[in-house]
Structure 1
């Protein structure tokens, strides 16, 4: 499709002055092989009626979404599919000319994609400063509105503003939590649902979740050292050096032992074991090690919300109370070479000079009484066709709780596989999405 033949969407299309006002751009062919347009949606900061607002007094946020279609045809000819990113605290991926080689290309074969920057992230109104609400307590109150319930309501506002009766949703990791909430709260709005490594623990205590993820990391650690036996001594030496304040990034930031242990997050993705081994081969005093170390740690200042609200994303009611820290198993206390992954603790936060200013906000969130997110009866009653990839050795989202939640959803087909890790959707070059679509639409037999 030439530029001259692009759809004639006006440059801006405001849809009213209220909190759900939408402004959309014209379609653009600037990215080779793709057509894109952007949407900016005004939504309420706080739908609960508690009166929470930004430090400047604003009661609305802007939510950003990018719509993507293949070039060469009318971009509206294919049904919409909303992608919900993992994290929490990360924006949606950005389309590029090589999108056809990824999961995005597999999705674009059948859909036009709507890539949502979840509230607080990316080009949506950023909530990435500890003073976003003014005080630590007010900022914590703001962050209570970043869970999947409010993200789903943002999606509903966007769907209505675009004049769509229904659409499909695809959620990776935390994005799958959002999809599960969507099925629970608004099944009538969904054509199909797809989840990859993202079935939440419905009605299960958060301590159980962390106990399962620690056990998964214990097994991953032992498998890793069986493959690279010399690395156990290397990790033990690094942990001792970190306790003495001798492990630093290239920027000079000290990496303490709790934070260093988070290198285990590499073991949860494709090729991660080799990446960890090649890092540990380097001299810890070298510039290469110190630069690569900073890039390998799971939590960073670029997306601080990932660390600060991570624990709360698991809470289906109740108080989290630094759960990952509270349930640290005795085996991990006795053996510092057992690595961790998405296990944010008070100590890990304090060890990170960029995240340490969030300490008071995180303390407020750890003491917050969370409401429930999912209605088991609504999940049982929903009839949204869908499919979920459950990764058998997932260190982030336990297979045990994933299958229990899948059992609540009668029209959700599950595919349990050890072929991929948690990042299977991305690492499989589209194979995971194609399989899920085949399962959900009945192309693949039961």
Structure 2
């Protein structure tokens, strides 16, 4: 397929703390099989150091954010991993379709479609394959067909780059992946069997650090099961939703965020002990499922190739009875999407039927080309975290072995959010590894 050349608009230069930024808006096909059909808008922000902006030969790098369903970073200055990249590159921060300023997917925007089937049909176009097609259209539009760029991706962004290497390796001069080497050979259940085990290990470590929280967490869950506790949004807080706070355990400082959240859980109210308003308010703000609905309703589809996911995380959960034990230790869960979430999050309730259609969809197209990956010639460097709760190192290492010219740096020094904690050090080394690979 000939890449789409997009009509696009570019903003005037914006200057901020030593940076120069240009906003780009591209009109791209919703469905690349029907390029004359409906269009969406894709937003990307070009960033460069002020003293390098005039250098037209500066190499480009495009960044794919984690998620799925989250916008690219919004900048306040040239610090962190972005500052390290900008020493040698012009950076394009892509809001993947449906996120940020790119034809946003929100409960409100999906409500404009006539029914759940129409919503599901629309959302099928918001996976990694079309994100890659968008990137290629943008490359041809901004750089021209003959000029390549490097790709960098965090978490799900790394999944997108493995799709990029499968579909359009000719567009890439090099790839950097942080915490997102996908299990390209494995079924979705294989992924969740390891991540559930990793979640149990994280719970063990959490309660070892904060032993008193074991009794407190069980007390909170029991209170939620025995009382109708309403969140500020007006939906009931269930013990299942309380479990999902364990999502934080996969990031640096996650144990502390949940420990400090729980320590103020109870107050003495007019009718006795009850959960405090500030606790409930913080619980409600603790996830991005409602503000970033792709993260919920399209999450399992990021693994699906030719089969229905059928709420895989929920099905595999039954293999780990300790997660739902009525007595004993309360187990916080992780990045596991469940159909109960479409009841527990008020903004997602109207999308319940749509989510069910997507869970039962069996004709998902391919995301990876194993034969193309096996003959890869693009240099790839990656950091994977030994204790990663979201992307199992076992499958990351397997994928790295399958792809030629792939160097993987495995460490337990950081959690999944390593580039947010020590970005310059991590990107500095990865850029050196990439330079040495050429």
Q: Is contact 1:119–1:125 with CA below 8 Å preserved after alignment?
A: yes
- Matched with 2:41 is 62
Q: Does 1:338 align with 2:320?
A: no
> Deviation digits for residues 203-242 of structure 1, max 9, x if unmatched?
3111111111111000000111111111111111111122
Q: Report what 2:409 is aligned to.
A: 415
Instruction: Tell me whether 271-280 or 71-80 shows the greater mean CA deviation.
Output: 71-80
Q: Which runs of 5+ in 2 are unaligned?
A: 267-274
Verify the 8 A CA contact 1:203 1:316 in the aligned structure 2.
no
Q: State the Cα distance separating 1:289 from its structure 2 match.
A: 1.5
Native 8 Å contact 1:83 1:170 kept in 2: yes
1:8 aligned residue: none
**Distance in 1 (alpha carbons) for counterparts of 2:395 and 2:419:** 20
- Counterpart of 2:244 (choices 262, 266, 271) is 262
User: In 2 relative to 1, CA 381–263 (structure 1 residues): closer, same or farther, beyond 3 Å?
Assistant: same
Q: Is the 8 A contact 2:64 2:94 kept in 1?
A: yes
Question: Following the alignment from structure 1 to structure 2, what is the Cα–Cα distance between the partners of residues 59 and 170?
Answer: 29
Q: 1:86 aligns with which of 52, 66, 72?
A: 66
Equivalent residue number for residue 307 of structure 1: 296
Separation of aligned partners in 2, 1:433 and 1:106: 7
Of stretches 251-260 and 345-354 in structure 1, the one that deviates more from structure 2 is: 251-260
**Partner residue in 1 for 2:262:** 280
In the comparison of the two structures, how many residue pairs are matched?
A: 417
Q: Which moved more, 1:276-285 or 1:322-331?
A: 276-285
Deviation of 1:286 after TM superposition, in Å, equals 2.4
Q: Tell me the residue number matched to 1:367.
A: 360
TM-score by length of 1: 0.89
Q: CA RMSD in A?
A: 1.9
Once the two structures are superposed, residues 31-83 of structure 1 have per-residue CA deviations (whole angstroms, 9 ceiling, x without a partner) of 2210000111111111235x9x9xxxx70001000000011232534211101
1:72 and 2:51 are equivalent in the alignment: yes
- SS of the residue corresponding to residue 327 of structure 1 reads helix
One of 141, 149, 167 as aligned partner of 1:185: 167
| Structure 1 segments unaligned to the other structure (5+ residues) | 1-17
Task: List aligned pairs for 1:313-328, cutoff 5 A.
Answer: 313-328=302-317
Question: Which residue number corresponds to residue 386 of structure 1?
Answer: 380
Question: Which runs of 4 or more aligned residues in structure 1 lie more than 6 Å from their structure 2 counterparts after TM superposition?
Answer: none
In structure 1, which of residues 160, 163, 178 is the aligned counterpart of residue 143 of structure 2? 163
Partner of 1:239: 221
